[in-house]
A and B are shown apart, each in its own frame.
Chain A
Amino acid sequence: KPAPSGTGTQCPECAIPVTSACKFVTAPPEGEKVHIVLGFDANYPPFTYVLPNGSAAGFDIDVMKWIANKYGWELELKPWDWSTIVTALENGDLDVIASGMSITPERASEKIWFSIPYYSYIHELVAKADDTRSADEILNSGAVIAVQKGSTAEEWADKLLAEGYNFQKLALNSYVEALQALLDGRAQALITDSAFLEPYLKQHPDVAAQVRVVTTLGAPETYGIATRPCDIWLRTKINDALHELMTSPEWNKLLEKWGLG
């Protein structure tokens, strides 16, 4: 695990723009209540989703609650559409995004900077349990392979296609639907990430019996908490807290609770 740093993952050559949305550049005056708006995409269990009573839940939510609790911050939870979530952050509608957000160089730009990575996962090629073909056979069979629209899994699919593999990409709206397509027989395989798949299979043993992971793809990737680049104080505080949490026994309990162990 990386040591805590002041800046987390950032864009090295980017200047830090200070806009009116920047609220946490430096420490707020003593005694002032810190109010943080947490934006998340409720479409991403077990990291962020909603409970039947409408309240937010998930691993990321628990992490942010722990951090807010530690500092005595007020935490406001705001579900937000994924496609405009960064714009909302930039414009001050949100202050942090903790929603299973992968750290990629494209994302860590002048718009958002990340905290230290707090979770790592790997992409996987999944097929039906009775499909005995190898990964290469599947990827070259012209078969339909389902992914989630806009996910890093789709990036993987695109990358493989660009490398000359022969399959059809079917990009659906969520992992759940992509998995559904595999189970329906509409797709012959699925590219997904372990962050989604493993907890899901733990929760749904019947599904787990029907599928098998054919192979993993590439190296592990990581999630980070996104903030405005200018909110240096906030990011530092989050990094400190994350570091503390990740080295405490509490961390494993949290992972355990959400099936991410």
Chain B
Amino acid sequence: MGFWEEFIPLVLHGAVNTLWVLVISIPASVALAIALGSARVYGNAPIKAIATAFVVTFRGFPLVVTLFLLFFGLADLGIYLTPYQTATLAFVLCGGSYMSEYVRGAIRSIDIGQSLAARALGMTKFQELIYIILPQAIRRALPGLSNEIIYQIKYSSLAFVVGYEEIFAVSKTFISRYFMPLQVFMVDAALYLAMTTAAAYGLRALEYKLRIPGLEMSIR
């Protein structure tokens, strides 16, 4: 059987698996990021400390290590996550921590007048955050978030270390069997480029759709 006939169906199967992880992990990461980022600016001291420790840990750990600890470390405690669960959870923990940094920065770049006006209306700190600050902050954080989302798409390749059969896992098997890294990498690159392009395009469109008329100079 030729390289293409053998490799393409396999790698497409891997791509479907990759998508399965991302479909869950990306939205969950964004949600976690908003919670963490908000907690780090608006939370009281203990909440702030917990959120910060969380971010420091999961931003600090290389993703491989997080995957490894969730897979083998938890198994030592009798908790057996499947490769799919491990990968999804690890991506959310890691991606959420990274993304939260953009959310935090964006929240802090909103001018103080906005919170003053919100509080003057009688909003609680939480209402202020939800209705006034976050809608503006998330818009500002979008370019950064799109970075992290794209990173996450590519990092999904690391799921192979816990035995998840995604694009890269399939490719690795193939490469060590035939030693044709160039061809395999080209196919992989095309697949990842397709996914990241779709994501980037979607996010750009979202950024454009959410822009506030007259406020920004020229979002394209």
A16-B161 Cα distance, complex, nearest whole Å: 37
Residue among B80, B165, B177, B182 making CB contact with A171, cutoff 8 Å: B165
Set of chain A residues within 8 Å of B175, measured between Cβ atoms: 83, 150
Within 8 A of B (CB), among A154-189: 154-155, 170-173, 177, 180-181, 184-186
B83 within 8 A of A: yes
Closest residue of chain B to A149, judged by CB? Answer: B172
The answer on a CB contact under 8 Å between B176 and A82 is yes
A107-B169 Cα distance, complex, nearest whole Å: 19
The answer on a CB contact under 8 Å between A170 and B179 is no
A86 within 8 A of B: yes
The answer on a CB contact under 8 Å between B161 and A173 is yes
A83-B172, A149-B172, A184-B76 as given contacts; A170 in contact with B177, CB under 8 Å: no
B110 within 8 A of A: no
A152-B127 Cα distance, complex, nearest whole Å: 59
Set of chain B residues within 8 Å of A155, measured between Cβ atoms: 177
Residue among B76, B165, B179 making CB contact with A107, cutoff 8 Å: B179
Distance to closest chain B CB from A18 (angstroms):
20
A67-B96 Cα distance, complex, nearest whole Å: 53
A86-B179, A177-B72 as given contacts; A154 in contact with B161, CB under 8 Å: no
B163 within 8 A of A: yes
A172-B161, A173-B160, A186-B80 as given contacts; A180 in contact with B176, CB under 8 Å: no
Set of chain A residues within 8 Å of B163, measured between Cβ atoms: 146, 149, 170-172, 181
Set of chain A residues within 8 Å of B162, measured between Cβ atoms: 172
Distance to closest chain A CB from B179 (angstroms):
4
A172-B163, A180-B72 as given contacts; A154 in contact with B173, CB under 8 Å: yes
The answer on a CB contact under 8 Å between A106 and B173 is no
Closest residue of chain A to B182, judged by CB? Answer: A87
A248 within 8 A of B: no
Set of chain A residues within 8 Å of B76, measured between Cβ atoms: 184
How many residues in B have their beta carbons less than 8 Å from beta carbons of A?
Answer: 20
The answer on a CB contact under 8 Å between B177 and A106 is yes
The answer on a CB contact under 8 Å between B178 and A149 is no
The answer on a CB contact under 8 Å between B172 and A150 is yes
Residue among B75, B80, B173, B182 making CB contact with A150, cutoff 8 Å: B173
Closest residue of chain B to A90, judged by CB? Answer: B179
B181 within 8 A of A: yes
Set of chain A residues within 8 Å of B165, measured between Cβ atoms: 171
Identify the interface centre among A82, A170, A171, A180: most chain B CB within 10 Å of its CB: A171
A104-B177 Cα distance, complex, nearest whole Å: 8
Set of chain B residues within 8 Å of A185, measured between Cβ atoms: 75, 80
A186-B181 Cα distance, complex, nearest whole Å: 31
Closest residue of chain A to B80, judged by CB? Answer: A186
Closest residue of chain B to A173, judged by CB? Answer: B161
The answer on a CB contact under 8 Å between B75 and A112 is no
A84 within 8 A of B: yes
Distance to closest chain A CB from B90 (angstroms):
15
A151 within 8 A of B: yes
A23 within 8 A of B: no
A173-B178 Cα distance, complex, nearest whole Å: 18
The answer on a CB contact under 8 Å between B169 and A149 is yes
A171-B169, A171-B173, A184-B75 as given contacts; A149 in contact with B160, CB under 8 Å: yes
The answer on a CB contact under 8 Å between A111 and B75 is no
The answer on a CB contact under 8 Å between A112 and B179 is yes
Can you name 25 A-B pairs with beta carbons within 8 Å?
Answer: A83-B172, A83-B181, A85-B179, A86-B181, A107-B179, A112-B179, A146-B163, A149-B160, A149-B173, A150-B177, A154-B173, A155-B177, A170-B163, A171-B160, A171-B163, A171-B173, A172-B161, A173-B160, A180-B72, A181-B72, A181-B163, A184-B75, A184-B76, A185-B80, A186-B80
Given contacts A85-B179, A86-B181, A186-B80, 8 further A-B contacts (CB under 8 A): A107-B177, A149-B173, A170-B163, A172-B163, A180-B72, A184-B80, A185-B75, A185-B80
